[in-house]
Chain A
Amino acid sequence: MNHMPILSLTLFIPVIGAIIIMALPKDQEKAIKYISALSTFISLALSLLVFITYDRSTGGMQFIESIPWIKDLGVSYALGVDGISMPLLLLTNLIGFSAVYASWNIRERVKEFFTLLLILITGVMGTFVATDLFIFFMFYEVVVIPIYLLVIMWGSTKRVTKEYAGMKLTIYLLIGSAFLLVGLIALFVTAQGMLGYPTMDITKLAGVDFPVGFQIFVYALMAFGFGTLLSMFPFHAWSPDGYAGAPTAVSMIHAGVLKKIGGYGLIRIGLFILPAGAKFIAPIIAVLAIGNVVYAAFICLSQKDLKYIVGYSSVSHMGYVLIGIAALNVISINGAVMMMFAHGVMAALFFSMIGNLYEKSHTRNVNDFGGLAHQMPRLAVGFMLAGLASLGLPGTVNFIGEFTIFVGAFSVFKVVAIIAITGIILTAVYILRTMADLLYGPRKEQWDHLQDLKGPEMIPLIVLGTAILVGGIFPSLVMDPISSGVSGLLAQIGTIQMGGIF
């Protein structure tokens, strides 16, 4: 029906942009920025087109492309989106586009910065649209290198140096991917033994009836690998330091979407291929998730650096996602996917506002500020919007995610859910404290010179703010595809695998 390889186009237009940028002379900064903006905008438009034209009545994988690549390994270049990956693809592009504008005021090594940024965006997108395990893993590795370079070159040094932050981020990512690789190879080899032919196709692998002990072993590896990426307690240490050290755009992309690869992988690969393993490990994940929600929220209370606050808060919010994944029912997993989307836009908005403020004031310490709403009303709106979304206020898309997760998780883990729900109080406390100290109170003369958001700086606020509100007011727009995707996934598990574990 659709002959245009729309997913490949979405995926590779930023790469084309990056190639053009590489060919440009160094001092053409304006042109470089316009090309970045244009290529991310085309990707955004294409992913919106995918989102709109996706046939909701049939559901399932759509926009499928498949080209055999390595026959002996059963690898093919296979792309496709379903209800789960589509919102995340859209999210990536929303944030990618905003991230270009959030980096509009970059002055040094502009060419290299935007090249790396565009490659990073492609890498993240690739993981969400790949339906082949090998391709998934390949894109995942593509992400690591630009992240490292971006952090150590354009990062900022506060409590920890940017080199330390970059190293920490990269090594954590690589440790996660090492565990993943072991699991992946184990899966491949075992599946080849059972099927008689090699395949890396996720759906085909999901059809294999792996022995339960093996499933538990591999899922444990994946829970560790993906869990690290999702900053699961106690493997979260990279997250606050990493975000604090990273430049704005990287914080946005990392907190916004890269982290979500962990949750996406747990659902798409872990749960789909290894349901029995998922069932066995789920209680452990649920307990660790409490650690995320409550522990990280408490730490937020004592943080003063804005980026650390958002960093720890994202650890805290990922706890909700983990609980949703651990509860293993349609509602909770719907909620988890929704929460990933919601947290993505919220965190990206937060980081872009912080980045903007830091760029102008050269400090991120909450105590240095106060009454900023006097001088920077638009920035205050951005902060408030992100803050209110963060504390899960109805009308923002985050509420939908949290509420759904709570409903789904509550039917499975009562105690865990109740403890996790205390998180909504703690979140309100730290977010409102931060907002009050930052934006409200008497006017401080020393910040009178700060300019409010204007021109390109408004783009992240408009794009991400719209996403937050539209998703919150019309949740069905996002939730319906997610729900169809998750139901489809769980239904396939139900029929192919041991019937009735869900």
Chain B
Amino acid sequence: MIGLAHYLIFASLLFGIGMFGVLSKRNAIAVLMSVELMLNAVNINFVAIEKFVTPGTGLGHTIALFVIVVAAAEVAVGLALIISIYRHKKSVNLNDFNLLKW
């Protein structure tokens, strides 16, 4: 029987993979995708906890839907930024983007 623990472990793994991607990938697109992975891990948590802990309230579903909307908006803005940086620098490698350096 698949219980809450399985969902949580799965979500943690997904979150860990996403976090690894965010920290290690040099390609801005890949980083953005990794962020999506992390968001999805959170969504799984929300839905799973709704199901097992507070069934019938709909709270987890609602928040998950919110997160999906926000993620979509974020991807839109993020891609727009990346494109504009690409136009400027001809690169999507994050190592080239250290404008905030000291």
Q: Do chains A and B directly touch (beta carbons under 8 Å) in the complex?
A: no
Which residues of A pack against B, CB within 8 Å? Answer: none
